Chain A
Amino acid sequence: MKAIVTVMLKPGVLDPQGKAIAHALGTLGFAGVNDVRAGKVIELELTETDPVRARAQAEDMARKLLANTVIESFRVQVDG
């Protein structure tokens, strides 16, 4: 079963990478981009077949390694 962990910087944590992307989009002529935040997507192929347990595993992995909860938040999506 696949679990997808999305890791983003918490609101209020400066995201210079997002700022640089926003700037580049403006340079390319894309108007109306108010803000850009850049994060990471991590796909996990799990042996677990129960979606509830798969989610719990992925959340545990996110807390212990995939995200640094001092600066990042995460969300887990489980695909059957």
Chain B
Amino acid sequence: MKAGIILFPGINRERDMAIALENSAGVKPRMIWHKETDLGDLDLVVIPGGFSFGDYLRCGAMAAQSPIMAAVRAHAARGAYILGVCNGFQILTEAGLLPGALLRNASLRFLSMDCHLRVERANTVFTTRYQQGQTFRAVMAHGDGNYFADDATLDRLEGEGRVAFRYATATGEISPEVNLNGSARSIAGIYSDNLRVLGMMPHPEDLVDPLMGGIDGKPLFDALAAA
């Protein structure tokens, strides 16, 4: 699995992501500045979290217009893998590679805390090391994570099995009390129609080593490394 991480000005989670990828795959990912235009033969492109271009206009709006994004689109079109986390998820929706948008958290508060995610399907390249319906711990750190799409789009995502993760209790129950950013149908992550592009708000790369306080996110990177 050859992986690369896209860097925009204001991105600040690329090193955590690189640690997570190297930890599972045994090779360092390529770091790719946003002004580059060639992704080579990468299998996986990761857009990490942060505040690209200072979140000006809308979160991810500027990054979605960057030179490298034409190559990311071509990468998606040839069926290669893309993971966008936090700002990366916002960028993927702004670029039109995933449907919907991320709105300001319903509480208006920046959320910086652990949450639990329920695995909605365990048979994509990202989730084979999880069990369907299990929950795992992940870290939220966002002000704009309130997933929005119109009802027709939400119905289509559900019907096509494209909801990746939902905010849940530790035992897997869905409720407004644990859907802290107000996301439609508690959605924390979604897939593209070919299931090869995943966008998610919480950070699996924050829990990949016991020293970090847990390894709940490691199965995602192990699954990708083995793909």
Q: Are A68 and B106 in contact (CB under 8 A)?
A: no
A56 at the interface (CB under 8 A from B): no
**Least CB separation from B100: chain A residue:** A70
- Contacting residues of chain B (35-53) with chain A, CB-CB under 8 angstroms: none
Closest approach, in angstroms, between the C-beta of A16 and any C-beta of chain B?
Answer: 5
What are the residues of chain A within 8 A of B61 when measuring CB–CB? Answer: 65, 68
A20 at the interface (CB under 8 A from B): yes
Interface size of B in residues (CB-CB distance below 8 Å): 19
B222 at the interface (CB under 8 A from A): no
Contact residue among B93, B94, B99, B148 (Cβ-Cβ distance under 8 Å from A13) = B148
A57 at the interface (CB under 8 A from B): no
Alpha-carbon distance between A17 and B108 when the two chains are bound, in angstroms? 7
Q: Binding site of A, secondary structure by majority: helix, strand, loop or mixed? A: mixed
- Contacting residues of chain A (20-79) with chain B, CB-CB under 8 angstroms: 20, 40, 65-66, 68, 70-71
**Least CB separation from A70: chain B residue:** B101
Interface size of A in residues (CB-CB distance below 8 Å): 11
A1 at the interface (CB under 8 A from B): no
Known contacts A14-B182, A70-B101, A71-B148, A65 near B65 by CB under 8 Å: yes
Q: Are B108 and A20 in contact (CB under 8 A)?
A: yes
Q: Are A70 and B149 in contact (CB under 8 A)?
A: yes
